[in-house]
Amino acid sequence: MIDPRTCAARAGINCDPGLGAVVAPIQVSSAYRRADPARPGAFDYARTAQPGRAELAAAIAALEGASGAVVTSSGMAAIDLILNLIPNGARVICAHDCYGGARRLFDARAPQRGFDLVYADCTRPEFLGAVLRDGADLVFFETPSNPRLRLTDLAAACARARTAGALVVVDNTILSPALQRPIEHGADLVVSSLTKIINGHSDMVGGVVCATDKGHLEQLNWWANAAGAVSGAFDAFLAMRGLRTLPVRARVQSESALQIAEQLDAHPKVVRVDYPGLIRHPGHDIACRQQVKFGSLLSFELEEGPPAVRRLVQSLELFTLAQSLGGVESLSSIPATMTHAAMSPEARHKAGIGDGLVRLSGGLETVGAVWADLEQGLAAI
């Protein structure tokens, strides 16, 4: 592959043979004319395949180093699509601290689809090894995890899962292929929410599944078409436009987040900062091995606990209190009552998501402006 920045910048450029438009127009048509009733052309019906979606899938697959990709209507639709690859009675190992919405879906699908679901701490090789001893069909985890930014050694986890005969699915939403390519470390499938840093402008919802195996791709495409879990033409266009600047945004947002994490870490009112770029972070060495940069997401707790955290997020002016991450605008959230509210209090406790945890998604504003806002907010509590 050419370098990621060039690959992203050129994605979908010059692919309009008709008028020679540099950026291909949005093809809004839901159906394509056939010359022969028995033979479809390259495009036939937009649920099955759509030009903008196909270009976007090819570009993301190239960035991830995958054989191909399926673009879906959301990150959750991408995760759900993968569950079509496992047989009834399968054993699924899921990281106990994955995104709350993913956990809600796994919890609901397990009894409905008849698979065994085991939550495990995938960041600890010995724990993952122990649950894999009873066999597994699929292992699902995020690294870094959302919101505590725990790291899983991709190569070690993938090797263990493969020995047990399991497919490994990595949720790469937090970093994106600009900063981490799980397939290079042995993952079979990579899912991402396009809603986050890949699109990066907080103006669409989408997802993607990247696969290495052609048979898996065929099955995923079959199910995406059969169930209609695909994205529309406008969303695919927006995600493609965002993707072209992804490597540049991801680098700048990561560099800013590192400086903010260091400044928060030195602040007397802050008890702990979770950010893999900090040398004392338990996953720092793993992050240096498998990531290009440390990412734009960080979380922290305050000395004064939950009520102070609530006051802090409400007094921040530059950070918008909202349920997302990865946009060009900085966002704050309290995972316990927002992104991870679907988890039971016990599950949240086990995953280390306390009521006093704040998550920040660093945007493209200057570090000076972001820090000034955090400083005034911390002074106000």
Asked if residue 144 has a cis previous peptide bond (ω within 30° of 0), the answer is yes
Nearer Cβ to ligand PLP, position 63 or 174? 174
Q: Rule CB under 6 A: is residue 99 a binding residue for ligand PLP? A: yes
Minimum CB separation of residue 255 from ligand PLP in Å reads 22
| SS3 of residue 96 by DSSP | coil
Choose between 149 and 378: whose C-beta lies nearer to ligand PLP. 149
From the CB of 196, what's the least distance to ligand PLP, in Å?
6
Peptide bond into 17 cis (omega under 30): no
Q: How far apart are CA 366 and CA 375, in angstroms?
A: 14
Closest Cα partner for 328 from 240, 277, 252? Answer: 252
Which residues ranging from 122 to 141 are in contact with ligand PLP (CB under 6 A)?
none
Whole-number Å distance between alpha carbons of 50 and 56: 10
Is position 199 an interface residue for ligand PLP (rule: CB under 6 A)? no
Residue 101 within binding range of ligand PLP, rule CB under 6 A: yes
Q: Which class for 85: exposed (0-12), middle (13-18), buried (19 or more C-beta within 10 A)?
A: buried
Q: Does 177 bind ligand PLP (CB under 6 A)?
A: no
Burial code (b: 16+ CB inside 10 Å, e: under 16) for 167-189 equals: bbbbbbbbbbbbbbbbbebbbbb
Alpha-carbon separation of residue 218 from 27, 68, 77, 166, 290 (angstroms)? 24, 10, 17, 19, 29
Q: Give the nearest distance from C-beta 211 to ligand PLP in angstroms.
A: 17
User: Least distance to ligand PLP from the beta carbon of 97, Å?
Assistant: 11
Q: Which is nearer to ligand PLP, 173 or 330 (CB)?
A: 173
Residue 163 vs 323, nearer CB to ligand PLP: 323
CA dist 193 and 69 (Å) reads 13
The interaxial angle of helices 75-82 and 100-113, nearest 10 deg, is 30
CB of residue 115 vs ligand PLP: minimum separation in angstroms? Answer: 20
Identified binder of ligand PLP from the candidate list 52, 182, 186, 207, rule CB under 6 A:
207
Which span (2-10, 98-106, 228-236, 327-335) binds ligand PLP, by CB under 6 A? 98-106
How far is C-alpha 293 from the chain's CA centre?
A: 15
Single out the residue of 75, 144, 242, 335 in contact with ligand PLP (rule: CB under 6 A): 75
Is 171 a binding residue for ligand PLP by CB under 6 A? The answer is yes
Question: CA 374 to CA 312: how far, in whole Å?
Answer: 8
How many other C-beta atoms can be found within 10 angstroms of the C-beta atom of residue 337? 11
Q: Is 72 in the site for ligand PLP (CB under 6 A)?
A: no
What residues from 272 to 311 belong to the interface with ligand PLP (CB under 6 A)? none
Q: Smallest distance, Å, CB 368 to ligand PLP?
A: 28
> 207 or 356: whose CB is closer to ligand PLP?
207
Out of 50, 143, 146, 290, point to the residue binding ligand PLP (CB under 6 A).
Answer: 146
**Candidate residues 50, 143, 180, 195; the one interacting with ligand PLP per rule CB under 6 A:** 195
Q: Which of 121, 142, 235, 274 binds ligand PLP (CB under 6 A)?
A: 142
74 binds ligand PLP (CB under 6 A): yes
How many other C-beta atoms can be found within 10 angstroms of the C-beta atom of residue 248?
A: 14
For residue 294, the minimal CB distance to ligand PLP (Å) is 16
With binding defined as CB under 6 A, does residue 143 bind ligand PLP? no
Q: Which stretch binds ligand PLP (CB under 6 A): 4-12, 73-81, 128-136, 250-258?
A: 73-81
> String of b and e for 279-298 (b: at least 16 CB within 10 Å)?
eebebbebbeebbbbbbbbb
| Closest residue by beta carbon to ligand PLP | 75
CA–CA separation, 292 and 364 (whole Å): 18
Strand pairing class (68-72; 207-211): antiparallel
Residues forming the active site: 47, 99, 171, 196
CA angle 245, 250, 256 (to 5 degrees): 130
What are the residues binding ligand PLP (CB under 6 A)? 74-76, 99, 101-102, 142, 146, 171, 173-174, 193, 195, 205, 207, 339
